[in-house]
Every structure is written in C-alpha cells, then in structure tokens.
Amino acid sequence: MRKLILLLLYVLTAGIFLLCHLTASSTVPFSAGNGNVALYFIIILIPILIGIVYLLSDFLRHLVINKKHLNIIILLLITQICLGIFYQYNQLDNYRDTLANAYFDYFGYHDMEYIHMITVGFSSQLNNQYFNLNTWFMFLSFTILSSLVVNPIKKIINHLTTR
C-alpha cells in the first residue's frame, strides 16, 4: 500500500509540475497581472516532499545496500542535481534572449530592464523555467537523495542518544 501511495505522490508531483509549467505567459507583454497561481502549488509541494521522503526512506530502510553502491548512488544523485541546476541557468539565459526578441518584435525595441524584471524571483513568467521536466527530475533526485540520507542520520542520532 505504501508503494502505491509513493507512486501516486510522484504522479501527483508530475501533474503539479506540468500544470505550473503551462501557467507561464507566452505572449507579449508577458504578464497577465493575475498574480502567480503556481506559488500555491509550491506550498502544496512541501508536505508532498516530506511525505515522499518519509515513505521512501521507510521503504529503503528494509533494503540492504552496499556502502560502496550507496556512495556511488549518492554521488550520481548529487551530480544530477548540480548538472540540472547548471542546465537551468543556461536555459534561463536562452529564455531571456527569446523574450527579448519577442519583445523587440512586438514593440520595436529591446527593454532588457523589463525582461530582467520579469525573469527574477517568483514571476509567473518563470513558471516554465521552475516547473519543467528537468526540474521535476531534480525534485525526484532530491527526494531519493534525502531518503537515502535520512536513515543513516536516524541511526547516528539513535546511537548518540542511547549512550
């Protein structure tokens, strides 16, 4: 039953990432002025993240994983997350160029200050940058990494408190 709940939580997060990705404005002047609905989904993702880590760490606790293999898996997950962040930064630069060109086509001039203003923080224009397949895989990797680290930390804490 826990495996099914875990699977459903991962599917739910994929749906949330897709929905938030689709909320980005794609037409000039790029802002609908309705606020950013995706911020509510970020709040929803926090308890889902905690639930996934709890269920997955409980599942992984029963598996016997060689320390060498565990270290390799952790290193690969950290590498994937770091490469994903690097890729997102590059995509953001490309996205800013795309927006600047679209703005130029619409208004006849480049307003890089405006483009920068709408592509920082939690602007709804960035929803397709924060919520996409890459960031979902980073979320997946983070949950797995957190789950792998939780059990050894629990063991250390239990060992220290029993002394």
Query: What single-letter amino acid sits at 42?
Result: I
Evaluate the CA torsion angle 101, 105, 111, 114 in order and state its sign.
negative
pLDDT of residue 14 exceeding 70, the answer is yes
Task: Map out the domains of the chain as residue ranges.
Answer: 2-161
What does the pLDDT look like over 133-148, one tens digit per residue? 999 999 999 999 999 9
Q: Are 100 and 112 in contact (CB under 8 A)?
A: yes
User: Residue 26: what pLDDT?
Assistant: 61
What does the pLDDT look like over 100-141, one tens digit per residue? 888 888 888 888 888 888 888 777 777 788 889 999 999 999
**CA dihedral in degrees (60, 65, 71, 72; nearest 10)?**
-100
Of 94, 132, 131, 84, nearest to 115 by C-alpha is 94
